[in-house]
């Protein structure tokens, strides 16, 4: 693997970030961190979408300018991703001057090429989607299926993109590239939509929508938000129709673009068509995730169940976001919807991170100190079936990530933790020590500690802080690549003193909430 480029959808800034936004960014960050363990050349792009009628209306309602609203909410997204340890390389804003300039250049290039033309439009427009809809897109009640509102009837002269020119090429590409849409069950929906696709409006009259990127050759029009927004994936790399930057040439096409199921049509149809019109290769994969419900109910302002990620960390007094990251990244099977509930969150992270993984490390190190003063003797270092199982798990987890099945990867890591716990229970090192079998006891403990080194490396993308704390106590170099992992991570000599054994994750429970935490 010579490079890995991953992107998220860019979030609309007419409101503050919530748990649904956090799910996508954590999922993407976990994938990104995993591939940094396999490849030296990785790039992670995220950002915000700042143009369109919703921003214009929200700003007016709040008595501020659209730019002031964008600046305020873009900062909130940045702050939340920092809080969640989302380690992106670049955060793009569609109000960035470089992005606006290249978006205009792309528009003019396609206009000159004949793929954009001007025409009178009369039809339905959903402000929530920032999209024009046909009758076929609506529910039986004539509502937008996503926002459950009636689209506006719009009549104006716009520029159109010749999407129909590329529909057969797109269909052929999707059919010939089995892994393009992940999971594959989404493919049939895209092909069905593609069969009835029409040319799409790519501008709005400035008299109706003023907050957007100007069409250079027509001052009465602004570039339609989806053309503006979708191009961020290449403008962020310095794409230029005449002289693309070295960064663009290095990283495009994207390895995977992570999006929600509600914007699949735009990314699986509109975006490929635009790339084809620009004579650019398509991304290798689109990872389409589901939605996060709250206590099995869809998030809704009217229901009052919109949760911010920051509120969860504060509620449980979590100094680090690892528990929330782990929970969210493993909340849903690949491409399916997931659910958040306080009880499930507490139960899952207590069971996996505190009781299983954290306790395994703590009690094994404690026995090493109790029985051997924290020393590893050379005769303790032997290969075991447990270590072989750990190295096999590395390959299994890599395969899970190759298929972007992050939940499965997390489950396989915890399965390894459970095997190590069972190995301790079955081997009974305390009995071995009591019976004078010191070397065998030391071998059991060392095998578990060696396995915990591998576990720390595998869990790192999910829980970077916990993983680093584990590695520190094990004197293990967590920065090494997954392909370099082997047996023998624990070296002979003094490993740890009693005072340096610290829990890597404390249980979340009522006692914890009542001040077991300083």
For residue 329, give the nearest of 25, 6, 3 by alpha carbon: 25
Give the CA distances from residue 422 to residues 416, 437, 505, 513, in Å, rounded to whole numbers and listed in that order: 10, 20, 20, 30
301 assigned to active site: yes
pLDDT of residue 390: 98
Choosing from 42, 70, 144, 334, the catalytic residue is 144
Please compute the mean of the pLDDT values over residues 130-148 and round it to a whole number.
76
- Percentage of residues of the chain with pLDDT beyond 90: 86
Give the CA distances from residue 193 to residues 266, 277, 378, 460, in Å, rounded to whole numbers and listed in that order: 11, 20, 64, 39
pLDDT of residue 515: 39
- Mean per-residue pLDDT over the chain, rounded: 94
pLDDT surpasses 70 at 180? yes
Choosing from 97, 122, 301, 515, the catalytic residue is 301
Is 52 within 8 Å of 211 (Cβ atoms)?
yes
Give dist(CA 277, CA 265) in Å, integer: 17
pLDDT surpasses 90 at 419? yes
| Burial call 213-252: b when 16+ CB within 10 Å, e when fewer | bbbeebeebbbbbbbbbbbbbbbbbbbebeeeeeebeebb
Sorted by where each begins, the domain ranges of the chain are 342-516
Write the pLDDT tens digit of every residue in 347-363.
999 999 999 999 999 99
Please compute the mean of the pLDDT values over residues 155-179 and round it to a whole number.
95
pLDDT surpasses 70 at 510? no
Choosing from 25, 34, 54, 126, the catalytic residue is 126
pLDDT bucket at 144, cuts 50 / 70 / 90: confident
pLDDT surpasses 80 at 136? no
118 assigned to active site: no
Give dist(CA 263, CA 13) in Å, integer: 16
Please compute the mean of the pLDDT values over residues 388-409 and round it to a whole number.
98
Choosing from 90, 147, 395, 481, the catalytic residue is 147
21 assigned to active site: yes
Of 92-101, 136-145, 280-289, 435-444, minimum mean pLDDT range = 136-145
pLDDT bucket at 130, cuts 50 / 70 / 90: low
The CA dihedral of 231, 236, 238, 239, to the nearest 10 degrees, is: -20
Give dist(CA 379, CA 402) in Å, integer: 38
pLDDT surpasses 50 at 513? no
289 assigned to active site: no
Choosing from 42, 51, 54, 129, the catalytic residue is 129
pLDDT of residue 302: 65
Choosing from 18, 285, 348, 352, the catalytic residue is 18
Please compute the mean of the pLDDT values over residues 471-478 and round it to a whole number.
98
CATH H-level superfamily of 342-516: Isoleucyl-tRNA Synthetase; Domain 1 (1.10.730.10)
Choosing from 82, 112, 177, 298, the catalytic residue is 298
Is 420 within 8 Å of 456 (Cβ atoms)?
no
Give dist(CA 85, CA 87) in Å, integer: 6
pLDDT of residue 518: 36
Is 154 within 8 Å of 208 (Cβ atoms)?
yes
Is 58 within 8 Å of 69 (Cβ atoms)?
yes
pLDDT surpasses 70 at 223? yes
18 assigned to active site: yes
pLDDT surpasses 50 at 66? yes
51 assigned to active site: no
């Amino acid at each position: 693997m010579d490079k890995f480029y991953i992107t998220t959808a860019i979030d609309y800034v007419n409101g503050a970030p919530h748990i649904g936004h956090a799910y996508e960014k954590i999922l993407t960050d976990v994938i990104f961190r995993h591939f940094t363990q396999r490849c030296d050349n990785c790039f992670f792009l995220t950002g915000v979408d700042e143009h369109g009628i919703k921003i214009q209306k929200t700003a007016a309602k709040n008595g501020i300018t659209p730019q002031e609203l964008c600046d305020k909410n873009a900062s909130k997204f940045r702050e939340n991703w920092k809080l969640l340890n989302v380690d992106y390389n670049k955060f793009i804003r569609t109000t960035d001057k470089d992005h606006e300039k290249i978006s205009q250049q792309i528009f003019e290039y396609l206009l000159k090429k004949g793929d954009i033309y001007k025409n009178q439009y009369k039809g339905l427009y959903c402000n929530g989607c920032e999209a024009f809809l046909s009758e076929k897109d609506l529910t039986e009640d004539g509502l937008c299926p996503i926002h459950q509102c009636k689209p506006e009837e719009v009549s104006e002269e716009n520029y159109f993109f010749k999407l129909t020119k590329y529909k057969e090429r797109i269909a052929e590409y999707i059919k010939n590239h089995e892994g393009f849409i992940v999971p594959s069950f989404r493919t049939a929906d895209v092909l069905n939509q593609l069969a009835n696709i029409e040319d799409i409006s790519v501008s709005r009259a400035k008299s109706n929508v003023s907050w957007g990127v100007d069409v250079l050759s027509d001052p009465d029009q602004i570039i339609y938000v989806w053309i503006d927004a979708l191009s961020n994936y290449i403008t962020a790399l310095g794409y230029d129709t005449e002289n693309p930057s070295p960064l663009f040439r290095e990283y495009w096409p994207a390895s995977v673009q992570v999006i929600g199921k509600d914007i699949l049509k735009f990314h699986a149809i509109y975006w490929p068509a635009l790339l084809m019109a620009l004579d650019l290769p398509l991304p290798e994969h689109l990872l389409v995730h589901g939605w996060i419900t709250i206590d099995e109910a869809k998030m809704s302002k009217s229901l009052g169940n919109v949760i911010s990620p920051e509120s969860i960390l504060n509620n449980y007094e979590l100094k680090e976001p690892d528990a929330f990251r782990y929970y969210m990244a493993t909340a849903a099977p690949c491409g399916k919807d997931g659910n958040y509930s306080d009880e499930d969150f507490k139960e899952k992270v207590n069971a996996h991170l505190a009781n299983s993984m954290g306790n395994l490390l703590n009690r094994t190190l404690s026995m090493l100190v109790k029985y051997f003063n924290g020393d590893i003797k050379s005769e303790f270092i032997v290969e075991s079936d447990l270590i072989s199982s750990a190295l096999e798990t590395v390959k299994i987890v890599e395969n899970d990530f190759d298929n972007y099945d992050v939940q499965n990867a997390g489950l396989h890591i915890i399965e390894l933790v459970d095997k190590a716990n069972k190995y301790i229970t079955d081997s009974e090192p305390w009995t071995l020590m009591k019976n004078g079998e010191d070397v065998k006891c030391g071998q059991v403990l060392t095998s578990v500690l060696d396995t915990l080194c591998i576990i720390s490396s595998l869990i790192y993308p999910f829980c970077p802080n916990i993983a680093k704390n584990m590695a520190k106590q094990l004197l293990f170099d967590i920065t090494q690549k997954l392909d370099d992992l082997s047996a023998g991570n624990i070296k002979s000599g003094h490993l740890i003193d009693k005072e340096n054994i610290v829990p890597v994750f404390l249980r979340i429970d009522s006692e914890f909430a009542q001040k077991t935490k300083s």
